[in-house]
Amino acid sequence: MLKNPLLLTALTLTALVAVWGVVDTQGLASFAQAQVAQQFSSRAWFIMLVASLILIVLLWLAFSRFGDVRLGRDEDRPEFSTVSWLTMLFAAGMGVGLLFYGAAEPLTHYHVIEQHLSPGVAAGYAMVVTNFNWALHAWSIYAITALVIAYFAYRKGRAGLIGTPIRYTFRRGRWVAPLAWIADLLGIYAIAIGLAGSIAIGVFQVQGGLQNLLGLENAAGWLQYPVFALLCLAFLVPLTVDLSKGMARLSNVAMAIAVVLMVYLLLMGPTHFLMDGIVDSLGGYLSGLVRQSFATFPFFGQEFEQWFHDWTLNYMVWWIAWAPFVGVFVARISRGRTIRELILGVVLIPSLFSLFWFGVFGGIGLYGVMHTDLPILDVAINQPENTTFFVLDAAPLSSVTGALTVAAAFLFLVTSVVSAAFVLSMFSTGGNEDPPVRIKLIWGVILAALGLAMMLTGDVGTVRAIIALGAMAFVFILPILVVAFLKTLKQEERP
């Protein structure tokens, strides 16, 4: 198995990055930041164009004749009920990122915008930008990847690999096999780097929560190491056995905790303010969607351009990094559904949930800035990992809600890493849906090492830059997959 060239190349490449990050953390951080800055400056237009055109293509597919094409044989029907399917979509989309950035991101945007506009306008636009970063575009990137994988795997009976659409559609030409191989490799690399970044951010989140619960303030930087060690133990052990159903249950528990937290804050917080903000931000998001979809801020000066690169552009690349991983999960649970069902379910439902989530957490944060003397803005700028817990402290039973947040973040991390190790093992062994335990363990160790390397940077911005660098090449593969999918789909007869 270890003689597989793709597996050996992927393991070597990711291991080298992990070693580099552990041995010379600052060197990797500086390299990633410099390269990402250069790439973003020259390719911002291309990244936004790809992300926005994917959304347009999906909307067209959903309401075209191809929307009735089934992802499987014509007689296949969904394995899961609609309610269960939607619940699992929520679980896939709800992760440590939302727990980390729920309040911190809108406040960070507000801090930048408020220096140029009135507080009210700045707060409204901060919510619009946050919603744009997390809603339709993000889930469209996931949906198109899931759609391509599901179509070729279940309707065409091919291996569920990133390079499969290229091999199946183009076939002839000496360039096909090398390009498909590169697509497989870049997909694996993007998943590994993206997931490792989430490990680091999750460790920061759990560390911040424990500091808050234990009253250790900022003197407990050492906490990240036992948290990381416990996390490694928690995800390496399950890789030795088949716990697919158990992982799903853990993910659902984490999702349930997140929903309870959101509803609790909505009811215990300034409910009317939050609901007004949710409705207002929804209107602002939808009315400005076209403009925001193609905005690259070339005429607003260096400050706004850098802000756009650090957030919106970085997110678009982050979603692309996670797309192969989330795409496999969504494709697996969507077998038997039509293209229209997958698109509308994957793009619309989680997007609405994200809008509501940020409306509650971000709304409470903005309420604290605009109507109280709480230093929440300083916390969001200087200690983003503590922002969610600062918001929870403003509501009753903060020790309980803080503990639940720590538990949810930890569970999301464990299930994500276990699932990612499985997907990486599957991709790197030719689509084997039952990869050997040793391959899963190898990927688990490499993910842990990559996560440690990013954790050692101690800076969320640097982690995001490393993620962006890992996914940058895959930005050019995704459009090729979409073209291959559309070219093959044209041959489908009307159902």
Q: How far apart are CA 488 and CA 134, in angstroms?
A: 30
Domain residues for the domain of 364 are 5-489
Please compute the mean of the pLDDT values over residues 312-327 and round it to a whole number. Answer: 90
What CATH number has the domain bearing residue 134? Answer: 1.20.1740
Task: Provide the b/e sequence for 147-174 (b: ≥16 CB within 10 Å).
Answer: bbbbbbbbbeebbbbbbbbbbbbbeeee
Q: What is the mean pLDDT of the chain?
A: 88
Please compute the mean of the pLDDT values over residues 235-243 and round it to a whole number. Answer: 74
pLDDT at position 244 is: 56
CB of 477 closer than 8 Å to CB of 183: yes
Q: Is 382 inside a domain boundary?
A: yes
Model pLDDT for residues 374-409, shown as the tens digit of each residue: 889 999 998 888 899 889 988 888 889 999 998 888
Model pLDDT for residues 442-471, shown as the tens digit of each residue: 999 999 999 999 998 888 888 888 988 888
CB of 425 closer than 8 Å to CB of 439: yes
Q: How far apart are CA 416 and CA 427, in angstroms?
A: 16
CA-closest candidate to residue 183, choices 327, 81, 82, 310 = 327
- The residue among 494 and 217 whose pLDDT is bigger is 217
Q: How far apart are CA 227 and CA 210, in angstroms?
A: 9
Q: Is 388 inside a domain boundary?
A: yes
* pLDDT tier at 220, thresholds 50, 70, 90: low
Q: Could you tell me the CA-to-CA distances from 243 to 235, 240, 249, 293, 438 in Å, in that order?
A: 11, 9, 10, 40, 16
Length of the chain (residues): 495
- Report CA 375 to chain centroid distance, whole Å: 29
Q: How far apart are CA 221 and CA 145, in angstroms?
A: 38
List all residues 6 or more positions away from 74 whose beta carbon is below 8 Å from its beta carbon.
495
Q: Is 223 inside a domain boundary?
A: yes
Token pair belonging to 360: 């509650």
Residue 494 pLDDT greater than 60, yes or no: no
Please compute the mean of the pLDDT values over residues 78-101 and round it to a whole number. Answer: 76
Q: Is 495 inside a domain boundary?
A: no
Q: What's the number of domains the chain is made of?
A: 1
Q: Is 210 inside a domain boundary?
A: yes
Residue 2 pLDDT greater than 60, yes or no: no
Phi then psi for residue 391, to 5 deg, are -65, -45
Q: Is 494 inside a domain boundary?
A: no
Model pLDDT for residues 147-177, shown as the tens digit of each residue: 999 999 999 999 888 999 999 999 877 889 9
SS (H, E, C) 163-217: CHHHHHHHCCCCCHHHHHHHHHHHHHHHHHHHHHHHHHHHHHHHHHHHHHHHCCC
pLDDT at position 481 is: 95
Count Cβ atoms within 10 A of the Cβ of residue 267 and give its class: 0-12 exposed, 13-18 middle, 19 or more buried. Answer: exposed
Angle value at C-alpha 34, between 30 and 40, nearest 5 degrees = 145
Q: Is 97 inside a domain boundary?
A: yes
CA-closest candidate to residue 433, choices 441, 442, 425, 445 = 425
